[in-house]
Structure 1
Amino acid sequence: MKLVTYRRHPADAGRLGALVDDTVVDIARLGEATGEPLPGTMLDFIDLGPDAVRVASDLLDEMRGDWPLGVRLPRASVTLLAPIPRPRKNVFGIGLNYLEHIAEAARGLDTPAGMPEAPVVFSKPPTAVIGPDAPILHNAAMTQQLDWEVELAVVMGTTATRIDEAAAMDHVFGYSVMLDVSARDNRRAGQWIFSKGQDSYAPFGPCIVTADEIDDPHDLALWLTKNGEEKQRSNTGFMYFKIPQLIADISSGITLEPGDVIATGTPEGVGAGREPQEWMWPGDVIEYGVEGIGTMRNPVVKIG
């Protein structure tokens, strides 16, 4: 399933839906119409575990083409929000996790040139998360080096504490797309959270694809363009630390809970690694995506 959080009007709260062709099917209303109790928000749905995924998927297959009244909306009539508009805790980010990005970061950001011995973990607060078409905020008083990083996002489905790599994938709910926006000139004594965690620095979406729909998350094309010009194109197979390693490493000391998000790192092609270096400015439009999941678009907008 491709699951989204949507609303029809700006004042509405976000509701859980499934993308089916060019429509959004409201999951809670589908449940009401068929006698299956299903929740109206993404986090509540994830909390229910694998049985909820099976029930909702079966209903979507069964009712397709014969939808009950009031459960289906044209995709063009709704606004998609981030799939989880406000995660319960910080998004886990992974730095330096693609081989060629490690090399370009060493050139442009003075990071170590060698391979990291363990995943480089940072975080973005929930207030950094925005959805499709929402503006990336550019405050010239804060940064003159606003950079892009397209990433595969992993969404946890069940609690993971000190999980072995062999069992890690059993805890994954699904996958999404994240843009790791980075103010390169806001790194502070080696600390990244202010560079990575400002408002709007975690565009996320357009949907969560449940894990059963992705045969191999380590074989997905990912790409990014700025104003239509391609800047990044690679494959998740080039991750240095694979998803099971990331889950095992983080959960060795921090419990991962349902709905937690891990942004798994970016490939080469970021602005800091270019010669000359290149940044995002107000008026730019960033489009990016991951194979099998979807495409995101966010404009860069001046504030301050």
Structure 2
Amino acid sequence: MRYYQLYGDGRPRLAVETSETVYDLTTTNSRLRTFEDLLSAVSIVDCPIDAVAEQLLDDAAEIEIHPTENEALAAPVSSGEIWAAGVTYRISEEARQTESSMPDMYIDVYESDRPEIFFKATPSRTVGPAEQVGIRADSDWDVPEPELGVVLSGDEIIGYTVGNDMSSRSIEGSNPLYLPQAKVYDRCCAVGPCVRSASSIEDPHDLEIWMTISRNQEVLYNETTSTSKMVRSVDELVDYYTKHNIVSNVSVLLTGTSLVPDDGFTLHEGDLVEMGIEGIGTLSNTVVEV
């Protein structure tokens, strides 16, 4: 199942998509408005999330998801922290060597037992589908990074989403200690368009990922890859993120990227970034300078 967060008339609503149709779960209970609300119900009845949603379908109104001026898709997870893993694909390791004044450190991380795990965003820094992602005004080399996002309840994997780990390559490249500034800022992350339940994804390590970047309706970048190229497993990354850490009730862990535009490319304000993952959906955002 796919879970969507709708927002209109000033109040959120929770929708679920099955193989047949889309249902408004909020019509079954006015207190069931967010994905987090559904997780609270799951924790009480101690059942899988899809099983709880399934029990509500008979009483839920059928709807169609067509975002309009009065109603929009929001980030499917609205609370908790977002963290990210780096150097989990060979091309990512190569790209960060290229940009860095200390390239050997990325080889060490790529080959090390311990992965790179870093804090990425709070809800206030995160946007959803069709919202604007940010590029820093003090950076002259900025790129989007499409990543498989693991949605967690505590240390339990409950679903997957699409994540955009916006990055200032010029700031990080000048000194690795500037990583927080290169990664954490206003509108630095986007997630969506939904959460796909973990039980409905057969293998998270065999999913196609794609990204297209357009400027003035001209396609500047269009590439495809697969999560099968990731050198770390989802379970390994989750283990390092949750071990010895205080983990939010709901959080997202981005798992790294293997789609990196050429070194001569940088995002401009107004660009359209579209990225998708097989079985989950497509996340679209325009770019604004912050």
TM-score by length of 1: 0.81
Paired position in structure 1 for 2:148: 152
Classify 1:195/1:39 alpha carbon distance in 2 versus 1 (closer, same or farther; 3 Å): same
Query: Hey, what's the Cα distance between the residues in 2 that align with 1:155 and 1:263?
Result: 9
Are the counterparts in 2 of residues 22 and 75 from structure 1 also a CA contact under 8 Å? no
Query: Hey, what's the Cα distance between the residues in 1 that align with 2:93 and 2:18?
Result: 39
Paired position in structure 2 for 1:6: 6
Q: Does 1:178 align with 2:146?
A: no
1:10-159 matches, within 5 Å, as: 12-20=10-18, 24-31=22-29, 39-47=32-40, 48-49=42-43, 51=47, 52-60=49-57, 63=58, 71-76=61-66, 77=68, 78-85=71-78, 87-88=79-80, 90-110=81-101, 111=103, 112-114=106-108, 115-117=110-112, 118-126=114-122, 127-140=124-137, 142-157=138-153, 159=154
CA offset at residue 229 of structure 1? Answer: 4.0
Identity %: 25
Poorly superposed stretches of 4+, deviation over 4 Å? 20-24
CA offset at residue 231 of structure 1? Answer: 4.1
**The 10-residue stretch of structure 1 (102-111 or 211-220) with the greater mean CA deviation from structure 2:** 102-111
CA offset at residue 59 of structure 1? Answer: 3.6
RMSD of aligned alpha carbons: 2.3
Among 268, 272, 276, the alignment partner of 1:285 is 272
Classify 1:249/1:302 alpha carbon distance in 2 versus 1 (closer, same or farther; 3 Å): closer
Query: Hey, what's the Cα distance between the residues in 2 that align with 1:208 and 1:125?
Result: 18
Query: Hey, what's the Cα distance between the residues in 2 that align with 1:73 and 1:109?
Result: 49
1:19-65: CA deviation from partner (whole Å, max 9, x where unpaired): 35796522132357xxxxx72211122233462431212443xx3xx
**1:185 counterpart letter in structure 2:** S
Classify 1:8/1:72 alpha carbon distance in 2 versus 1 (closer, same or farther; 3 Å): farther
**2:144 counterpart letter in structure 1:** W
**The 10-residue stretch of structure 1 (103-112 or 234-243) with the greater mean CA deviation from structure 2:** 103-112
**1:235 counterpart letter in structure 2:** S
Paired position in structure 1 for 2:180: 193
Query: Hey, what's the Cα distance between the residues in 1 that align with 2:111 and 2:245?
Result: 20
1:216-241: CA deviation from partner (whole Å, max 9, x where unpaired): 00100001111134444211111111
CA offset at residue 146 of structure 1? Answer: 1.4
SS in 2 for 1:298: strand
1:135-169: CA deviation from partner (whole Å, max 9, x where unpaired): 123343x2211111100000013x33xxxxxxxxx
Are the counterparts in 1 of residues 83 and 120 from structure 2 also a CA contact under 8 Å? yes
Are the counterparts in 2 of residues 6 and 80 from structure 1 also a CA contact under 8 Å? yes
SS in 2 for 1:14: strand
1:189-232: CA deviation from partner (whole Å, max 9, x where unpaired): 52422211111111100000011110000100001111134444
User: What are structure 2's unaligned runs of at least 5 residues?
Assistant: none
Classify 1:241/1:21 alpha carbon distance in 2 versus 1 (closer, same or farther; 3 Å): closer
Paired position in structure 1 for 2:284: 297
Query: Hey, what's the Cα distance between the residues in 2 that align with 1:116 and 1:202?
Result: 27
Q: Kindly indicate which of the two structures has a greater share of residues assigned to strand.
A: 2
Classify 1:19/1:196 alpha carbon distance in 2 versus 1 (closer, same or farther; 3 Å): same
**1:247 counterpart letter in structure 2:** V
